[in-house]
Amino acid sequence: MRLRKEWALLVVGLFACGETGQPATTAEQPMKRPRSTMRPLTEGPTVRASVRCAECHEPYAAGWQGSAHARAAKSPYYRALGGDGDERCSACHTPLRGEVPAEDPIHAEGVTCDACHTVSAVGPGGKPGDAGLTFDLAANRKYGSLCDAEDNYFHRVGCAPVFAESRFCGGCHSLEWPVEGGASLAVITDFAEWSSNPGRGTTTCQECHMSGGFGEVSRGWAERDALSRHDLFGADDELLAEGLNLEAQILDEGGGRTIEAVLANRGAAHSIPAGLAGRRLVLSAEFVDGAGERVRQDERVYARILVNAAGDEVVFTQATKAGEDSRIGPGERRVERFDVPQGAAVAQLRVRRFDLGPAVAAGLGMEPSAGQLVLSEDVALGAPPR
Ligand code: HEC
Ligand code: HEC
Ligand code: HEC
Ligand code: HEC
Ligand code: HEC
């Protein structure tokens, strides 16, 4: 590695306030790493807000900031469920709760930099209050999968190959919720589905969700080949459209006219929609006439829902059993037919993603959402054949 600007500044700093009056190094001597400026081991747990990491790792912070991980402690949905302050939830949503005092502002950052990068070992997790993560905060060490990185004056580094393995995500991206009678409900199945998907080959979560290009890991340091992106973790990211494919054609059969739409999961190693039970994708077909007025609207919903004893969809904390599962499995193509009504000139096909269903939102007193538009296609219908 070449000499970094930070070291040079540090050496100047040491010289300026040097107690012995001797420079730490001279131009003739080889530069030594100034270990004495390292935070002492006895100082206790060290966690830092993401803004500190941004000083040297700015692109990582920008990517993370726009991702779902940054909102894990404060999204309206999470708050509506009373997650904030509930210790069954904090292991995954505010993972440093058990490690540093409750008043520390770091908790508001949810799944923040240090919540992942102080993890030294990973077990199965997936339970209330248990994400399977072992933290090492004592030595101010940031763990990652680079094993040739060097300590710097701000933090030590730790080589942890588990960061490049799916099980790193698995402890949080699995959730079994206990229900009466000692049974449990599968609430989040991302890791389990990936594990049991024979078509995944060796592709890890990180290869799809984190693969980035060439660049500096830290400002001013030597460039590396493959950085890890931190922006493909939900919140309307570009993976949503990449994972799906929509094709439509007009079918004229038996005197009737239909639109055949094929929605395929072509990019994910798990079902779509992934994540928390109740996430949904909606394929809608809106038929409009020549003046653009709606003639008819039809839709199909893809979701895995949890229900209460009455069979109504509810949030996982109130559910007693699993309901319908209409998600699109890895590699699966879902073929849908929509009848074309009289007078329709265009079929507007739209795929939207919703964090939660309308009944559940209403039950929580949340505003219904318009969803995120993922894909769209307009089919001109022309004149029907005679
Ligand atoms: C959800 C956990 C998680 C969070 C939160 C997270 N990271 Fe990472 N980060 C990872 C993983 C996993 C890797 C390694 C990926 C791999 O090797 O395939 C990584 C890699 C890195 C690396 C090593 C260099 C590289 O490109 O691989 C740096 C530096 C880094 N992250 C900085 C940050 C910063 C700064 C933040 C906060 C702004 C942050 N990370 C938030 C999981 C996380
Ligand atoms: C003063 C600059 C600086 C600050 C601030 C900083 N880092 Fe780093 N970090 C570095 C340097 C330098 C490297 C090594 C870069 C290299 O080898 O290419 C590094 C490497 C890393 C790695 C890779 C470790 C590995 O073995 O894979 C992680 C993870 C990381 N930093 C996380 C963080 C987090 C989290 C924060 C905020 C709490 C942070 N850094 C703040 C300079 C900094
Ligand atoms: C410490 C626990 C934890 C770890 C480790 C973790 N996540 Fe997450 N992840 C969360 C939580 C909590 C959320 C939900 C945040 C929200 O939406 O409020 C989330 C959200 C996401 C989302 C967005 C989901 C959606 O429906 O919008 C994706 C994608 C994701 N994580 C992928 C990953 C991958 C891939 C890894 C491994 C590299 C990983 N996560 C590691 C806890 C974690
Ligand atoms: C082969 C690539 C691939 C692999 C491997 C993969 N994912 Fe995904 N993942 C995707 C794509 C593509 C999407 C977007 C799906 C869509 O269109 O809704 C996605 C979506 C998600 C979402 C929901 C995000 C959202 O915004 O709705 C979560 C959560 C998630 N993945 C977690 C994981 C975890 C955890 C792993 C590993 C156990 C993993 N993924 C492995 C490609 C992958
Ligand atoms: C074992 C880890 C784990 C535990 C424990 C856990 N969660 Fe989560 N939670 C996750 C992960 C991972 C996601 C991301 C999946 C997704 O976004 O689709 C998530 C997503 C969510 C979301 C969606 C957030 C949004 O903004 O859309 C809500 C709400 C939520 N959890 C509430 C809770 C509550 C409330 C508790 C405690 C009663 C809890 N969770 C316990 C891992 C966990």
The domain ranges of the chain are 43-147+155-224, 239-380
**Hey, whose CA ends up nearest to atom 10 of ligand 3?**
69
Paired residues of 119 in beta bridges: 135
Q: Which ligand is nearest to the CA of 280?
A: 4
Q: How far is the CA of 116 from the centre of ligand 1 (A)?
A: 7
* Measured CA distances, 165 to 145, 204, 224, 232 (Å): 9, 6, 20, 16
The whole-number pLDDT of residue 44 equals 62
Measured in whole angstroms, the distance separating CA 320 from the mean position of its chain's CA atoms is 27
**Hey, whose CA ends up nearest to atom 39 of ligand 3?**
169
CATH, range 239-380: 2.60.40.10
57 lines ligand 1 (CB under 6 A): yes
The whole-number pLDDT of residue 16 equals 34
Mean pLDDT of the region 304-321: 97
Region at 134 (left for phi over 0; alpha for psi -120 to 50; beta for the rest)? beta
- Condensed to tens digits (0 to 9), the pLDDT of residues 144-186 reads 999 999 999 999 999 999 999 999 999 999 999 999 889 999 9
* Span of 110-114, 126-130, 198-202, 270-274 with lowest mean pLDDT: 198-202
The whole-number pLDDT of residue 41 equals 44
277 lines ligand 3 (CB under 6 A): no
Mean pLDDT of the region 327-348: 96
Instruction: Please give the mean pLDDT across all residues of the chain.
Output: 89
Burial profile 69-85: b = 16 or more Cβ within 10 angstroms, e = fewer:
bbbbbbbebbebbebee
Mean pLDDT of the region 335-355: 96
Judge whether residue 111 has pLDDT over 70.
Answer: yes
Q: How far is the CA of 276 from the centre of ligand 5 (A)?
A: 7
Fill in the DSSP letter of residue 94. S
**Hey, whose CA ends up nearest to atom 1 of ligand 2?**
154
Q: Which amino acid is at 76?
A: P
pTM confidence score: 0.92
Percent of the chain clearing pLDDT 90 (strictly above)? 80
The whole-number pLDDT of residue 226 equals 94
The closest-lying atom of ligand 1 relative to the alpha carbon of residue 211 is 18
Dihedral pair phi/psi, residue 36, rounded to 5°: -60, -20
How far apart (Å, rounded) are the C-alpha atoms in residues 235 and 53?
Answer: 22
